[in-house]
Amino acid sequence: MIDFIRCVPSSVESLELSVMPKREWSHCIHEDEFYGLRLTYVGLNEMDYLPTRLHNLSMRLQSLTLSHMRISKALFWPSAENSTNAPYWPKLERLRVLNVPPYNEDGSPLLGLDPPLTREAARRESLVNPPPKDRFSDRREYIKSADLGILYRAMGTAAQRMPRLQIMGLSLLNYRTGEESNESLEFSRDKSARIAHLRINTQWGYRPGMEVISAWGLEGAVAEEFYHTMDVVLPWYVEAQ
């Protein structure tokens, strides 16, 4: 995939990339984590190679859609880049990242269990072998808000460097069903309007932190409304450079 991205011609303006749905995730994410089984694209130099390559590619595209691919904040805002060398997307109008497997960049799951998984529970589930949707039914599954917030914060920071942005979205995969979950962020703006709509949906109990709210440029009453409803219309204008 990285070699393919490197070879995309400069004439390409719109690109859709996807991988086989079951290549990037497991039905047993909690057991895998319990036993230390992780998949990650982070190299020895701590660079997350695939999202970083996609980030570089996105800065010259008009539209990019990714599906069923593991990503990290590096897709939107690599940590090595600072305000003096900030990325800029002069042409990008649509950026959609769909059915993202629920993992952090280090391969740990974005989802947790309450109470935490024990060796006895993991062993019991492996013996009974219930279908994915029924696994650990005695435990509450929740999203790790701080971890997901890292992605949402990077999205907000990047969006304010995209003067032509009309649509930005990210949705997580429901690893139990293999379908798109209701855990998502949606941003939309009419091409000529100076207002936008920002909405976060959750099925695993996500709550936005102030870092996420600030990254999207929300202030005052608008920030307060978004904190409580996660659905707001906001002023939006990004000046072209």
Q: What whole-number distance in Å separates Cα of residue 241 and Cα of residue 57?
A: 19
How much is the average pLDDT of 135-144?
93
Q: What is the mean pLDDT of residues 162-183?
A: 96
- Domain ranges within the chain, ordered by starting residue: 2-235
Provide the CA 157 distance to its chain's centre, in angstroms: 13
Average pLDDT over residues 145-168: 97
Q: Is the pLDDT of residue 92 over 50?
A: yes
pLDDT tens column, 67-79:
999 999 999 997 7
> How much is the pTM?
0.93
Q: What distance lies between CA 116 and its chain's CA centroid?
A: 24
Q: How far apart are CA 28 and CA 49, in angstroms?
A: 25
DSSP bridge partners of 66: 17, 97
Indicate the helix (H) or strand (E) that contains 195: strand 195-201
- Tell me the longest C-alpha to C-alpha distance in the chain: 60
As given in the structure block, the two tokens for residue 10 are 């400069």
Is the Cβ–Cβ distance between 199 and 230 less than 8 Å? Answer: yes
CB atoms within 10 A of CB 131: 9
Residue 74 is given by DSSP the state G
Q: Are 136 and 113 in contact (CB under 8 A)?
A: yes
What mean pLDDT is predicted for residues 157-168? 97
The pLDDT, as a whole number, for residue 48 is 83
Q: Quick check: 169 pLDDT over 90?
A: yes
Share above pLDDT 70 across residues of the chain, in percent, rounded to a whole number: 96
User: Is residue 126 scored above 70 in pLDDT?
Assistant: yes
Half-sphere exposure of residue 106, counting CA atoms within 13 Å on the CB side?
6
Tell me the C-alpha distance between 167 and 64, whole Å: 10
CA-to-CA distance for 10 and 131, rounded, in angstroms?
46
Q: CA nearest 110: which of 25, 44, 179?
A: 25
pLDDT band (50, 70, 90) for residue 80 = low
Q: Tell me what pLDDT residue 22 has.
A: 80
